[in-house]
Amino acid sequence: MQTRLFEPFSLGNIQLSNRVVMAPLTRRRANNPALAADDMTALYYQQRATAGLIISEGSQISPQAYGYTGSPGGYTQAQMEGWKKVTDTVHRAGGKIFMQLWHVGPFSHSLLQPGNKAPLSASPITPEGEVLTSDGRLPYESSRSMTKDEIYQTVKDFARAAQNAIKAGFDGVEVHGAHAYVIDQFIMDGTNKRTDEFGGSVENRARFLFMILDEILQQIPSNRVGIRLSPRSVKEGMADSQPEETYGYIVNKLNDYDLAYLHLSEMMSPEDRLNNYDTSIVPFYRKIYNGILISCGGHSLESASQMLENHHADLIAFGKPFISNPDLFERLRNLAELTPWDKDTFYHGGPKGYIDYPMLQYSST
């Protein structure tokens, strides 16, 4: 199949072997007191290094950013030593990897927070569902509004984690501004009820995001920084009333930052993408954004090729298919059958469903 998906691509001064991106995938295998990546984590990413670019699972930027048990951090020396094993292994395999910087906001619990305080967010909000704690699965609690001091500290935490990532050998970082986590909590008027300079107008609600970017760019070059957004709500009860206006403002302002890329996440199926192509948000934001754009969510080989051919995106990110197909790039290129994933092993556990999925043998001729 003729497609631009398999072509090399220049991400600034980073040369990617193809346009296939491994999307950030929370796997929660850092089952150690340090919450650090380990040798098994390194093998997991090494197996997937034929992707043009790997974006790591979300790595919490501070103890306050933690909410998903077993997720690796990016703020201590031990954590960065763990990640160094990963970056070294990926680079030896010829891959490129960015670290995703994560603060879960209200998706935590007081039992997971320093001092057993309520989780942080833009405003008090109680997510639906349950969270795994030391006392088992418990309902989410109401978050508390971040004070201005906590906002400024969180901005610094993002920048410190970005600096740590580069020292640990990552090729860049991705700021997680999507999926109703803390940055998105500030962006959406459905979750931000503040009356200070961080609430109200879209300019105020976006202030936190741009403070974070400004602080990070004092530490590392802009071409090593990406941003992930989800302009279409992906969590129940959390949305913006005017997403095209809100995220359109943000995306337009991002043009001034000369970032590595804008990564747009949307919940679609491959069938939706092919049969209802005009329902995707990506073409709308492509008209606004001048830089490199990654499209993620429900892509097949056909839909990915179509989006690239129409110049609506420059890179295509695949999520769940990479869980069960470590050699996804080769399978796509060879039109090989994809291994189905086992949802029961997505999170926690050991090697099962993590590093034991088969890879096909390919002829070198």
- Return the active site residues: 181
Helices and strands in the chain, H and E counts: 12, 14
Q: How many CA atoms lie within 13 A of 86 on its CB side?
A: 30
Distance CA 42, CA 37 (A): 7
Distance CA 98, CA 11 (A): 12
Distance CA 240, CA 23 (A): 24
**Residue 171 falls in which region: left (phi positive, over 0), alpha (psi -120 to 50) or beta:** alpha
Token couple for 272: 């939706």
Q: Are 332 and 20 in contact (CB under 8 A)?
A: yes
Q: Is 195 exposed, middle or buried (0-12, 13-18, 19+ CB in 10 A)?
A: exposed
Residue by residue, DSSP assigns 303-339 as HHHHHHHTTS-SEEEE-HHHHH-TTHHHHHHTTPPPP
Distance CA 156, CA 135 (A): 31
Do β-strands 120-121 and 97-102 pair in parallel, antiparallel, or remain unpaired?
Answer: unpaired
Residue 99's φ and ψ, nearest 5 degrees, are -95, 135
Spatial CA neighbour of 123 closest among 177, 181, 191, 182: 191
Q: Are 120 and 147 in contact (CB under 8 A)?
A: no
